[in-house]
Structure 1
Amino acid sequence: MKLVKYLLLVLVSIQVNSQSDAEVLEKIYKASLTYGKSYEWLDYLSNQIGSRLSGSLGAEKAVEWGKAELDSLGLDKVWLQPVMVPKWIRGAKEYAFIETKSGRTTTVNICALGGSVATPALGIKANIVEVHDFEELADLGEDNIKGKIVFYNRPMQPDIINTFEAYGGCVNQRYKGAIEASKYGAVGVIVRSMNLRLDDLPHTGSMTYENLSVSKRIPSAAISTNDAEMLSSMLALDKNIKFYFKQSCKQLADVQSYNVIGEIRGSEFPNEYIIVGGHLDSWDLGDGSHDDGAGIVQSMEVLRLMKELNINPKRSIRVVMFMNEENGLRGATKYAEVAKSKNENHVFALESDAGGFTPRGFSFECSDAVYNKVLAWKPLFEPYLIHHFVKGGSGADVGPLKSDTTVLAGLRPDTQRYFDHHHASNDTFDAINKRELELGAASMTSLIYLFDKYGTSSISNQEQIKN
C-alpha cells in the first residue's frame, strides 16, 4: 500500500514546475485531500500532548514534537529560536454561585481570565452591578461600584456576519475590564464569555492590568453565556443579590521557550523570505485543536506538500510555529526582532489562526497595487470555492513583520462556528473536520506557491498567470 501511494505521488509530482498554475493547484489539492498529514499531525498534537499554555509542560512537549516532525521532512534547516514567555497557572477549578436575599444559592460556570490574580483563599462574595460598556461604568461612578463585583454583559453582536468583527466589538470588556472597574473601587470582575452561542461553557482569554500596582489588582473571570443570561435576569428582579467566586490562579516568573522554525532554501532568491505559520501555544481548558493547532499543522503541511510535489521554490520558504500568541505575543515579537537584526527581507507572510473550518479565502494587508495584482489569481481558486479575497487584517503573529514592502495575509475559513469553541473546553480534536482542515492546507500551499513564483513586485496582470 505504501509503495502504491509513493508511485502515485511520483506521478503527481512529475513536471510540476513546467505545468500551468491551474494544473499545479489541482495537484496540490489532490495531494492534500488524498495523502495529507495535517489531520494525523493534529490528532497527535491534540490528543497526545493536549493543552499548551505558554510556560507549561504541554508547550515544552509541543516544541519537541514540532522540531522532530520538521526534521523528518528533510528540510534544508530546522531550528529552535529561544524566547522568554510568561508562566500563568490556573490552579484548582474555579467555583461560583449566585445568592438571593433568602440565602438560596445557584451554582454558575466560570473560569479565570488569563493573567488574572486569585481571589482571597476563602473567595469573594459581594453585591454585583451589571454594565454593558465602560461609559456606563463611569456614569455609575464610585458611589455605586465601590465594594461590589462588576458584571460586564455586552454580548457579541449577532447580526454581524463576520464573527471576528463581532468579537472585536466586545472583547475590550474582557481585556481591560478589571483596570476600568478598579478605578471605582470594585472588588472583582465577571465578564460574559465571548461566544455567540448560548451554552454552559465559560471562555477564557487574556486580560491586562497594564501598570496597575499589585495591591490594586482585582480578580477577573468569565461566565458562560447561559449563566450570564440568568444572572442578568435575576438582577432585573432584585438588585441586592450577591455573587460569590473563588479562583486560585497565579502568575510566576517568565520561563524560556522557543519558536520552532523550518526552512526550504530558495533556488534563485534565497535571501527573500516567505513565511507561513500559526501559534503553537493554546489556552488550557481544551486541547487547542482549532486555536491554533489547526494553523500549526496546516502550515507544516505547506512545506511537506512542496517537498512531496517537487515544487522547488525560488525564494526561501519558512514555517514558523510561534510561541505565546495567547497571552503575550512574545514569539512573534522575538521572530521579528531577530529578522530585523539580520536584515532579512521578508516579502510575504501568511498566517492561519482562525480555526480549521472550511476555507473561504484570504485577507491581505498590502498596497492597492499589490492587492489588485493578487486578484488576478482569484480565478485559480474559484474551482475550490476559495473566492473571498479581501483587504483587511492578517494575523497577530505576522503583524510585527509589517512594513512598506512585506505583504501580510491570513487564511479566512468560515467563521460562524469558531467562537463556539474559542478559548473554551470544547476546543478539542473531535470538533475538527478532516476534509475542511485539508482544504485549508491546500489553499495555503497554493497561495504560497503563487507568491513564490511571481513575487510581489513582479505580479502584473492576468496574462502572467498560466491558467
Structure 2
Amino acid sequence: MWSSTLLLGIMSYEATAQNRMGRPAQTLEPIVEKIIAEVNNNSQIEQLAFELLDVVGPRLVGTSGMSNANQWALKKFESWGIPGRNQQFGEWEGWERGVSHIDMVYPRIKTLAGTQLAWSPSTKGKTIEGEVIALPEIKDSLEFQRWLPSVKGKYVMISMPQPTGRPDHDWEKYGTKESIEKMNKNRDSLAMAWANKLRATGYNVNSIPGILEEAGAVGILTSNWSREFGANKIFGARSKKVPTLDISLEDYGILYRLSQNGIKPRIAVNTSSKQLGPVPSFNTIAEIKGTEKPNEYVILSAHLDSWEGGSGATDNGTGTIAMMEVARVLKKLLPNPKRTILIGLWGSEEQGLNGSRSFVLDNPEIVEKTQAVFNLDNGTGRVENINGSGFVHAYDYVGRWLSAVPFQITREIKTDFPGSPGGGGSDHASFVAAGVPAFMLSSLSWGYYNSTWHTNLDTYDKLVFDDLKSNVILTAIMTYKASEEPELVNREKRVLPLGRDGKPQPWPAIRQPRRTGVGY
C-alpha cells in the first residue's frame, strides 16, 4: 500500500518529469488530494472483497447468494450514511445448490473434480451409479436414433476430450516448433471431427441434453475447458430432469479414455440441490443526494450478480467493490455534491443485462437527466482504455474530467473518441442505447478471459488490490468532476460507419429485458 506521503512524492516527481518533457506541471485540486489519501490510507476494499467473495460467495440470479448480496450491499451503504433500496425488476426461477459428490467407482475409486451446473436438476439426495459413455461415431441422424436407446441408465459425455491440458503459452515456451505444429493440428482436427459428429446427430450442444435425458440417460457430463491450467467455463444446465455435471479436463479425459478402450467406467453421483420456484430479482440502488441539482445524476455502474463456478471475484466482484468504495470515499469527502451520485449494482447481467435494461425503462426521469455513467466490469486490472461510446463531444468533457486525475494513473490509459456505442457486452450499453453518455472503464487483462471470466478459478486470490485502488481513485475523481459540471453535457451522437447496405449503421436500440426467466 502506498502512503499518501509517498504517493504525493511520486506525483511531485511525475510533475517534474512532465516539466522536463515540456508539459506543464500538474496541480491537483484539494479534494483530489484528499481522495488519494483516503484511498491509500483508509481503504476498505480488501474488507469488502472478503465479505462479498468469501462470506456471501457466488451470486447467481435466483439463488440465496444473490439475495444475500443485495441485503449485504444495502446494509453496507447504510453503514456509510448512504441511503439505498433494493428495487425489484422481475423474478427468476429459484435454485439452491446442495452438497454434491462425483466419484468414479470402476475400474478404481477416484473422487472427480467437477461441479453441478447452475439450475441443474439433482439426484434428490440419492446416489445414482451408472456407466459412462461418449457420443458415438455416427454418419447421420438415423444412425443416432438407432443408437439412442443405449443411453438408458448411463451418463453421457457430450464435450470433446482435450488432447492437452497445457495452455498455448506453455507450449510456446517449452515446445519445439514441430511438436507445437503437431499439437495444434491434432487439436484442430479433433475439434472439427467432434463438431461434425454432433452435427450428424441433428442436434447441437444446447439441445442434445434434453434428447439424451428423454431417452433415459441418468446424467449429462461436460468439460468446457478455458484453455488455461485448471480452468473450465461454468455456465447453466440445459437438462430439465437429470443432473448436468461439468468435469475437470483431466478427470473427463480419464473417463473418456477408459470408455474408448472398452473398460466401461462407472461413476456414482449424489446431488441435493433444490428448485425453489419463482423468486424476486433486484437491483441494489444507493444515492448520495445532490444539493444544487438533485434531480440530475452521475451513475456508478457495476453488476452484482455472477456465475457460480468460483466466487464471482473478477466478474464482477471487482467492479462492485470498487464502485462501493468510490461511494464511501465520496460520501466522506464530498457529502454534498452538486448532482446526485447514484450507485447501481445490477442483477441478472449475466443473462442479458436484465437489471440495467429494466432500470433504464423503469426510471425514465433519471435517464433523461443523467450526466454520465461509469461502468466497471472486466476484471481486476487497472483501467487501460476509455471509449467515447459514440458521443461526438465526449473528447471535451471526458478529457476535462481525466485531466484532474494524477498523471501516474492516466499516463497508460488509451482513449478512443468519439468511439463507438457498445452493443451489449456490459451494463453501460443499456444506457448508451437510451442516448446517455455511458463509458466502460476497460481494465488491463491479467489473463481475464481464459483464467477467470466465467470459470471455476474466478476467486479472491486473483484480485490485484493495487490496481483496484487505482481504479477507485480514477473513478472517484471523474465522478466528482462530472457531478460539478455547470450544465449537462452534450449528448450528440456520431454518424456511425456505413453498413453492407451502404447506409450508416443504426444506433443500438433499447432492448427489452427478461423480467422472468428459467435457467440459462
TM-score, normalising length: structure 2: 0.65
Letter paired with 1:179: S
Aligned to 1:34: 41
1:290 maps to a residue whose letter is T
Secondary structure at 1:302 match in 2: helix
Matched, 1:352 2:358: no
Q: Which amino acid aligns with 2:479?
A: I
The answer for the alignment partner of 1:44 in structure 2 is 51
Is 1:123 the counterpart of 2:151 in the alignment? no
Structure-2 residue corresponding to 1:70: 77
Q: What's the counterpart of residue 475 of structure 2?
A: 444
Residue 179 of structure 1, aligned match among 207, 227, 235: 207
Q: CA contact under 8 A between 1:128 and 1:151: conserved in structure 2?
A: no
Q: 1:383 — aligned with what? A: 408
1:402 and 1:87 map into 2 onto residues whose CA distance is: 31
8 Å CA contact 2:168–2:227 kept in 1: the answer is no
Output the CA distance in 1 between the equivalents of 2:61 and 2:205: 23
1:457 aligns with 2:457: no
Task: Give the alignment partner of residue 410 of structure 1, picking from 419, 440, 443.
Answer: 440
- C-alpha separation in 1, matches of 2:147 and 2:398: 55
Tell me what 1:112 maps to: 116
Q: Which moved more, 1:237-246 or 1:294-303?
A: 237-246
Compare 376-385 and 317-326 and name the one that shifted more. Answer: 376-385
Structure 2 residue matching 1:204: 3-state secondary structure: coil
- Equivalences for residues 62-211 of structure 1 within 5 A: 62-75=69-82, 77-83=83-89, 84-97=91-104, 103-104=107-108, 106-119=110-123, 121-123=126-128, 125-129=130-134, 141-143=144-146, 147=151, 149-153=156-160, 177-183=205-211, 187=217, 188-199=219-230, 204-208=234-238
Shift in alpha-carbon separation, 1:280–1:220, aligned structure 2, 3 A: same
> Structure 2 vs 1, CA of residues 368 and 424 (structure 1 numbering), >3 Å: closer, same or farther?
closer
AA aligned opposite 1:80: N
Match of residue 13 from structure 1 = none
Equivalent position amino acid for 1:91 in 2: G
**1:34 counterpart SS class:** helix
The answer for unaligned runs of 5 or more in structure 1 is 6-18, 161-172, 461-467
1:260 aligns with 2:284: yes
Q: Separation in 2 of the partners of 1:137 and 1:374?
A: 60
Deviation at 1:124, TM superposition (A): 6.0
After superposition, give the CA deviation of every residue in 1:163-208 in whole Å (9 maximum; x if it has no partner): xxxxxxxxxx9xx834244347673432224533222x66532345
Contact 1:198 1:226 in 2 (8 A): no
User: What's the RMSD between the two structures over aligned residues?
Assistant: 4.7
| Alpha-carbon separation, structure 2, partners of 1:316 and 1:20 | 28
Distance 1:92 1:299 in 2: 33
- The superposition leaves residues 31-56 of structure 1 with CA deviations (integer Å, 9 ceiling, x where unpaired) of 32333222222223334444444455
Does residue 279 (structure 1) correspond to residue 303 (structure 2)? The answer is yes
CA contact (8 A) 1:94 1:248 kept: no
Contact 1:78 1:261 in 2 (8 A): yes
SS at 1:152 equivalent: coil
Give the match for residue 518 of structure 2. Answer: none
Shift of 1:400: 3.7
1:345-393: per-residue Cα shift (whole Å, max 9, x none)? 44533332323334333456x2262555577467767632541445556
- Is the CA contact (8 Å cut-off) linking 1:295 and 1:352 kept in structure 2? yes
CA distance in 1, matches of 2:27, 2:97: 49
- Cα separation, 1, equivalents of 2:439 and 2:488: 14
User: The residue matched to 1:367 in structure 2 has which SS?
Assistant: coil
Among all aligned residue pairs of Structure 1 and Structure 2, give the percentage whose two residues are the same amino acid: 22
Distance 1:57 1:138, change over 3 A: same
Q: How far off its partner does 1:319 sit? A: 0.6
Moved more, 178-187 or 88-97: 178-187
How far does the alpha carbon of each residue in 1:63-100 deviate from its partner, in whole angstroms, 9 at most, with x for none? Answer: 3332222223334x42221343432122221314385x
1:226 matched residue in structure 2: 250
- The Cα shift of 1:341 comes to 8.0
Is residue 67–residue 260 contact of structure 1 (8 Å, CA) maintained in 2? Answer: yes
Looking at structure 2, the residues matched to 157 and 339 of structure 1 have their Cα atoms a distance apart, in angstroms, of: 48
- Give the letter aligned to residue 474 of structure 2: S
- Report the secondary structure of 2:115's partner residue: strand
**What residue in structure 2 maps to residue 319 of structure 1?**
343
Aligned partners of 1:381 and 1:387 also within 8 Å: no
Distance 2:61 2:257 in 1: 37
The C-alpha deviation readout for 1:289-332, integer Å capped at 9, x for no partner, is 33333222211122223334438644432112223445686533
Instruction: Compare 260-269 and 46-55 and name the one that shifted more.
Output: 46-55
TM alignment of 1:396-407, pairs within 5 A? 396-407=426-437
Amino acid at match of 1:67: L
Query: Of the two, which has the highest radius of gyration?
Result: 2
From the superposition, tell whether residues 206 and 137 of structure 1 become closer, same or farther in structure 2 (CA, over 3 Å).
Answer: farther
What is the CA distance between 1:342 and its match in structure 2? 7.2
Match of 2:267 in 1: 244
* Whole-Å separation in 2 of the counterparts to 1:301 and 1:137: 57
Distance in 2, matches of 1:159 and 1:138, equals 35
User: Alpha-carbon deviations, 1:138-160, whole Å to 9, x = none?
Assistant: 79854556627242238899679
**2:466 aligned partner:** 435
- Say whether the 8 Å CA contact 2:114–2:248 is kept in structure 1: yes
Task: Answer with 272-281 or 23-32: which moved more.
Answer: 23-32
Q: 1:198 to 1:228 in 2, by over 3 A?
A: farther
Distance 1:219-1:64 versus aligned 2 partners, 3 A rule: closer
- Secondary structure of the corresponding residue to residue 369 of structure 1: coil
Which segments of 5 or more consecutive residues in structure 2 lack a partner in the other structure?
Answer: 5-24, 170-197, 199-203, 494-520
Seen in structure 2, the aligned counterparts of structure 1 residues 358 and 197 have a Cα distance that, compared at 3 Å, is same
**Kept in 1: contact 2:367–2:436 (CA 8 A):** no
Aligned letter for 1:128? I
CA spacing shift, 1:41–1:343, aligned 2, 3 Å? closer
Q: Could you say what secondary structure the match of 1:197 adopts?
A: coil
